[in-house]
A = this chain, B = another copy of it.
Amino acid sequence: MLAGVLRAHEGRLQVLLWQRAKPPHENRWALPGGRLGDDEDVERSIRRQLAEKVDVHKLSHVEQLAAFSDPGRVPGRRVVATAFLGLVPSDVDPEVPADTTWHALDDPPPTAFDHERITHAARDRLRAKLSYTNLGFALAPAEFTISELRRIYSAALGYQVAATNLQRVLTRRGALQPTGRTVPAGPSGGRPPALFRFTSPGLEITDPFAVFRPPPGAS
């Protein structure tokens, strides 16, 4: 039970890590997680584990990645880890324990065990789903300007996306809604940006990439 908890912050993607105080891999940085309890399924369990590091209510999305099971992944008796992707909106800065901090994904500290691989799996899942779902809602504040959203998507994807197309694509898919309100312009002037929100608070597939599509009438 391990989670790669990610957020977009200051133009970069960050992952939540805690520093191990004891061997093995003393002082290395590890993903939060813990053992599965007898009366919970894996998703409930990882949310419980994460509650100790991040306020659960700050977690905007959690999903299962895969089981990591290489017999040599940790020293000693083999441990199978079910890995998760967790997301935190960019406008909340949850309280975290003293041993725990955010680290830029592109400048990682020394990590424990196979946790860097798991972090990469989390990042790759996020990037893929940003393209064909409305998963951006989990990284963005409840309301935001297109510029802010552009920064978030650019940080998460690792390259610049154009605000024009971002707005158009998400709007056409019905994922984005104007609130009708605007926000004052910045210090250097400019037109005051409009505020938008995501239409749905939950994960939806907005681009059913299905080629070989079923005939329009079919279910």
Tell me which residues across on chain B come within 8 A of A160, comparing CB atoms: 215
Contact partner, A207, options B39, B43, B161, B209, Cβ 8 Å: B209
A38 within 8 A of B: yes
Cα(A64)–Cα(B40), bound, Å: 22
Cα(A95)–Cα(B210), bound, Å: 34
1/0 contact string of A8-37 vs chain B (CB within 8 Å): 000000000000000000000000000010
A97 within 8 A of B: no
Contact partner, A169, options B43, B67, B161, B212, Cβ 8 Å: B212
- Total interface residues on A, using CB and 8 Å? 38
A70 within 8 A of B: yes
Given contacts A38-B78, A78-B38, A159-B218, contact A211 B70 (CB under 8 A): no
Q: In this complex, what residue of B is CB-closest to A83?
A: B67
Is B64 a contact of A159 with CB atoms below 8 Å? no
Is A212 a contact of B131 with CB atoms below 8 Å? yes
A130 within 8 A of B: yes
Is B210 a contact of A131 with CB atoms below 8 Å? yes
Tell me which residues across on chain B come within 8 A of A110, comparing CB atoms: none
Tell me which residues across on chain B come within 8 A of A41, comparing CB atoms: 69-71
Q: How far is the CB of A198 from chain B (nearest CB, A)?
A: 16
Tell me which residues across on chain B come within 8 A of A195, comparing CB atoms: none
Tell me which residues across on chain B come within 8 A of A218, comparing CB atoms: 159
Tell me which residues across on chain B come within 8 A of A70, comparing CB atoms: 41
Is B209 a contact of A209 with CB atoms below 8 Å? yes
1/0 contact string of A163-201 vs chain B (CB within 8 Å): 001100100000000000000000000000000000000
Question: Chain A interface (Cβ within 8 Å of chain B)?
Answer: 36, 38-43, 45, 64, 66-67, 69-71, 78, 80, 82, 128, 130-132, 153, 157-161, 165-166, 169, 207, 209-212, 214-215, 218
